[in-house]
Amino acid sequence: MQDIAERAGVTKMAVSLALRGQGRLREETRARIRQLAEEMGYVPDPALRALNTHRQQLKTADKGEVIAFVVDWSEREPWKRLLFIRSFKEGLEAGARQLGYRVVPFWAGDAPGKALERILLARGIRSIVLAPEPQLEEDRLPLDIDWSRFSVVRLGRTHRDIPVPSVTHDHFGAMRMVFGELMARGYRRPALIHPERVEARVEHRYSAAFQFLQRELPKENRLPLLLSPAVKVGEASFLSYCRAHRPDVCLSSDSTVLHYLRAGALDIPRDIGFVSLDVQDNQPQVSGILQGLPAVGAAGANLIDLLIRTNMRGTTATDYKIVLGGTWQEGSTLRSA
Per-residue pLDDT tens digits for 128-153: 999 999 988 899 999 999 999 999 99
Total tally of structural domains belonging to the chain: 3
Residue 55 lies in a domain: no
Q: How many CB atoms lie within 10 A of CB 31?
A: 12
Residue 50 confidence (pLDDT) above 60: no
Write down the pLDDT at residue 181.
Answer: 97
Residue 82 lies in a domain: yes
C-alpha dihedral over 207, 212, 215, 217, to 10 degrees? -40
Same domain assignment for residues 75 and 160: yes
Inter-residue contact 272 to 335 (CB < 8 Å): no
Residue 51 lies in a domain: no
Question: What is the span of the domain harbouring residue 114?
Answer: 64-169+294-326
pLDDT tens digits, 150-208: 999 999 999 999 999 999 999 999 999 999 999 999 999 999 998 898 899 899 999 99
Inter-residue contact 95 to 301 (CB < 8 Å): yes
Share of the chain above pLDDT 90, in %: 69
Same domain assignment for residues 112 and 218: no
Same domain assignment for residues 263 and 116: no
* Distance of alpha carbon 119 from alpha carbon 65, whole angstroms: 15
Residue 320 confidence (pLDDT) above 70: yes
Give how far the C-alpha of residue 214 lies from the chain's centroid of Cα atoms, to the nearest Å. 26
**Torsion angles phi and psi, residue 314, rounded to 5:** 80, -170
- Closest to 208 measured CA to CA, from 182, 237, 170: 170
Give how far the C-alpha of residue 20 lies from the chain's centroid of Cα atoms, to the nearest Å. 27
Q: Tell me, what CATH number does 232's domain have?
A: 3.40.50.2300
Residue 54 confidence (pLDDT) above 60: no
Same domain assignment for residues 185 and 250: yes
Same domain assignment for residues 269 and 312: no
Q: How many CB atoms lie within 10 A of CB 75?
A: 15
Residue 315 lies in a domain: yes
Same domain assignment for residues 176 and 161: no
- Closest to 107 measured CA to CA, from 145, 154, 71, 150: 71
Residue 162 lies in a domain: yes
Same domain assignment for residues 92 and 162: yes
Same domain assignment for residues 177 and 274: yes
> Angle at the Cα of 28 (from 25 to 33), degrees rounded to 5?
75
Same domain assignment for residues 234 and 301: no
**Torsion angles phi and psi, residue 178, rounded to 5:** -60, -45
Same domain assignment for residues 86 and 220: no
Same domain assignment for residues 175 and 81: no
Residue 30 lies in a domain: yes
CA distances 225 to 208, 209, 214, 239, Å, are 11, 12, 11, 14
- Closest to 308 measured CA to CA, from 111, 45, 125: 125
- Closest to 269 measured CA to CA, from 249, 243, 245: 249
pLDDT tens digits, 211-221: 999 999 999 99
Write down the pLDDT at residue 16.
Answer: 78
If residue 228 lies in a helix (H) or strand (E), which one and from where to where?
A: strand 226-228
Same domain assignment for residues 184 and 38: no
Residue 54 lies in a domain: no
> Picking from 1-15, 37-51, 246-260, which range would have the lowest pLDDT averaged per residue?
37-51
**Torsion angles phi and psi, residue 308, rounded to 5:** -65, -50
User: Can you tell me whether residue 281 is helix, strand or coil?
Assistant: coil
Residue 49 lies in a domain: no
